[in-house]
Amino acid sequence: MNITLPDGNVRQLPQGATALDLANNISKSLAKVSIAARIDGELRDLTLPLHDGAKVAIITRDMPEALEIIRHDAAHIMAEAVQALYPGTQVTIGPAIENGFYYDFARDTPFTPEDLEKIEAKMRQIIAADKPFTREVWDRNKAIQHFESIGEKYKAMIIQDLPQTETITIYRQGDWYDLCRGPHLPSTGKVGNGFKLMRVAGAYWRGDAKNAQLQRIYGTAWRNETELKTHLTQLEEAEKRDHRRLGREMELFHLQDDAAGSIFWHPHGWTLYRTLENYIRARIQHDGYVEVKTPQLVNSSMFMKSGHWDMYGDKMFRVILDEETMFGIKPMNCPCHVQVYNQGMKSYRDLPIRMAEFGSCHRNEPSGSLHGIMRVRGFVQDDAHIFCREDQVMAESLKYCAMQMKVYEDLGFPTENVNIKLALRPDVRGGTDEVWDKAEDGLRKALTAAGMKFEEIPNEGAFYGPKIEFHLTDAIGRVWQCGTLQLDFVLPERLDANYIGEDGNKHRPVMLHRAMLGSMERFIGIMIEHFSGKFPLWLAPLQVVVAGITNDMDEYTHEVLAACKAAGLRADIDIRNEKINYKIREHSLKKVPLMLVVGKKEAENKTVALRRLGGESQEVISLADAIAKLKQEAKTPLEK
RNA sequence: GCUGCUGUAGCUCAGUGGUAGAGCACGUCAUUGGUAAUGACGGGGUCGGAGUUUCGAUUACUCUCAGCAGCACCA
């Protein structure tokens, strides 16, 4: 039979030959490192017989697909180890994930960290035994019956839910076997030693909190021990960038038990916050927005009208005045903005109205979801609502997306750091299907017109409309939703917003909800991690430290400081009785971008020694030149 | 909210059924120095909170609060 290789070459092999035979046919050394095959585009076992005319690519250990298979195999081996050590534990699912794998087990007693060590040791035994993985095709009903009979109820359920057309395959490694689509490595030994069990956690069966909670064990797995080590080192490095740690070290903010989920901003952190806020303010002014400020405390009746009370009332902070009066602390700004809109008559000529607010919101987020300043209970949205006519939706969406990407770029997140998703209608929602069709299509068209790559995610939209989500990733790979654009036909209806059209009749405006940073707090957290605290000069809370070498030139040091401040630089002075090495180390650790060192020579010549953070050398220039230069460098992206 | 783990000085952490220790940080003194740690001395803790057992609890147990990881949630 003829087999086509990726390079187009055709090889002749006897009937019944496998991908492994093919690899051997090509070269012995290839066969040694091959672990699977891509047959007609699908990953398959090396030991499956090929068919005539198949297109086959041999997957070797160094290919990305290999890692996925290694991780999946590690999950199987872990499951065997767990069932050997803890009889009665049921297996459920165990996929490969980014950097590793996990397996969910059903067991009444949770696993302890000590259990993990034992499981890992057992896994190494199974790997050392180098048991071959073999594939078997089972009859669907027999498989269900079999798994039920041995008490593996979850496996039986999984098979039951597989489509009728799916072939039921079982993979065996020695005496142990598991339902699995495959493919697998030729044998357990091929997994190698580049893995480590990381942690235990609870996880709901099928990801639903209404279901039983399973015990999930996470592991990381790599091609070899060197790669594993590299990964573990990267994790340590990421920890050093953690915004919670840098926030403390750089004196940006702190959190404490008494106000769980709220932030105490310190002077440096608040400077950073205001710099960011002012940048956004300048941006939106430039794009024709007006800024408003609306109440924190709003009678619950407004949220009942808007529909938020039904959806989220239990997560709102409430202020009960008397038996009849209950206020909610606003969890978002939209209903309030509609109130501002509703004051006075609006003409079609007034639209679009782009109404912005740095809106302070509070939500009683579940305790387990709180995370540093990224997920908090008190936060500020760089929020805005664009009230417009239907025929303006496209233009407004495009205008917004353009500004959004520009802002991310200015803040150090070029396009490749941003993931865009289009979240479609959820099960529980307001508005008719017709309206949703229109809304979803509107956003889809806008994204396409803007030439932006996006992924559609079903069921993830807000109750009043679909949304475009802009996602950024933090230091340890966690993904956070920041910017958003939501198209809403529902709230204007519920809160009775209208305008007088060209025809003299009342019409409903469309509302575009949008935020670029999302929450100021979250965005600052992401920026801290993104820059490892080393902010671009215009954002750095403290831009310059003027440090004297000895106290003899204190007078000149003060002169330099005054010049910095006069130029609008955020500057501080260090004339402590410490050595210059000590001062440089200290301010470097606090990530101050610039230091102006002055000693005897500088004082005599009216110069400064300019040292940049992390720099090896320094530049001696006149004070006047230095100030002019830094003033230019410290300009915001909008000023440049 | 759920599962597991954790909570001792500002930070990182050690330790014990008989009222606690290190390094760094902080303070004082000496030192006035050229680009990532000068030296000496010193101060500092109701051992997250409440309760139970005990002659005695920071240590054991219960409850509670908070944090961490994951899951779920995220208008």
Q: Give the pLDDT confidence of A8-47 residue by residue, as tens digits.
A: 889 999 988 999 999 999 999 998 889 999 999 889 999 8
Asked if A330 is an active-site residue, the reply is no
Q: From the C1' of B4, which residue's alpha carbon is nearest?
A: A201
Q: Where are the beta strands (DSSP E) in A205-263?
A: 213-221, 253-254
Helix, strand or coil for residue A594?
Answer: strand
CA distance A233 to A281: 40
If 0-12 CB within 10 Å is exposed, 13-18 middle and 19+ buried, where does residue A163 land? exposed
Q: Which residues pair with A594 in a beta bridge?
A: A544, A612
Tell me whether 0.90 is exceeded by the ipTM. yes
Task: Give Cα separations from A443 to A27, A420, A430 (angstroms).
Answer: 53, 12, 18
Active site residue A385: yes
pTM metric for this prediction? 0.94
The one catalytic residue among A377, A467, A514, A587: A467
* Nucleotide with the nearest C1' to A603 CA: B34
Annotated active-site residue A579? The verdict is no
| Known catalytic membership, residue A508 | no
Give, as ranges, the nucleotides of chain B with any atom within 7 Å of a protein CB. 1-5, 7, 11, 30-38, 65-75
Half-sphere exposure of A497 (CA within 13 A, CB side): 28
Report yes or no: A598 and A556 within 8 Å, Cβ to Cβ. Answer: yes
- Report phi then psi at A505, rounded to 5: -100, 165
**A605 pLDDT tier (thresholds 50, 70, 90):** very high
Report CA(A257)–C1'(B58) in Å, whole number. 21
Query: Within 10 Å of residue A437's Cβ, how many Cβ atoms?
Result: 11
Of the residues A76, A122, A244, A363, only one is catalytic, namely A363
A395 vs A88: CA distance, rounded Å:
61
E strand segments, A549-593: 571-574
Q: Can A11 be counted among the known catalytic residues?
A: no
Q: Which two tokens stand for residue A93?
A: 């699912």
With pLDDT > 70 as the criterion, what percentage of chain A qualifies?
A: 100
Q: Which residue has the tokens 């030991």?
A: A47
Neighbours of A239 (CB within 10 A): 12
Note if A513 is an active site residue: yes
pLDDT value of position A483? 95
Rounded Cα–Cα distance for residues A217 and A103 (Å): 6
Burial, A85: exposed, middle or buried (Cβ in 10 Å; 0-12, 13-18, 19+)? middle
Statement: residue A502 has pLDDT above 80: yes
Report the range of poorest mean pLDDT among A92-96, A288-292, A613-617: A613-617
What's the pLDDT tens digit per position in A581-603?
999 999 999 999 999 999 999 99
Residue A375 CA, distance from chain mean position: 12
Band of pLDDT at residue A187, cut at 50, 70 and 90: very high
Angstrom distance (rounded) from CA A331 to CA A360: 8
Single out the catalytic residue among A513, A530, A583, A611: A513
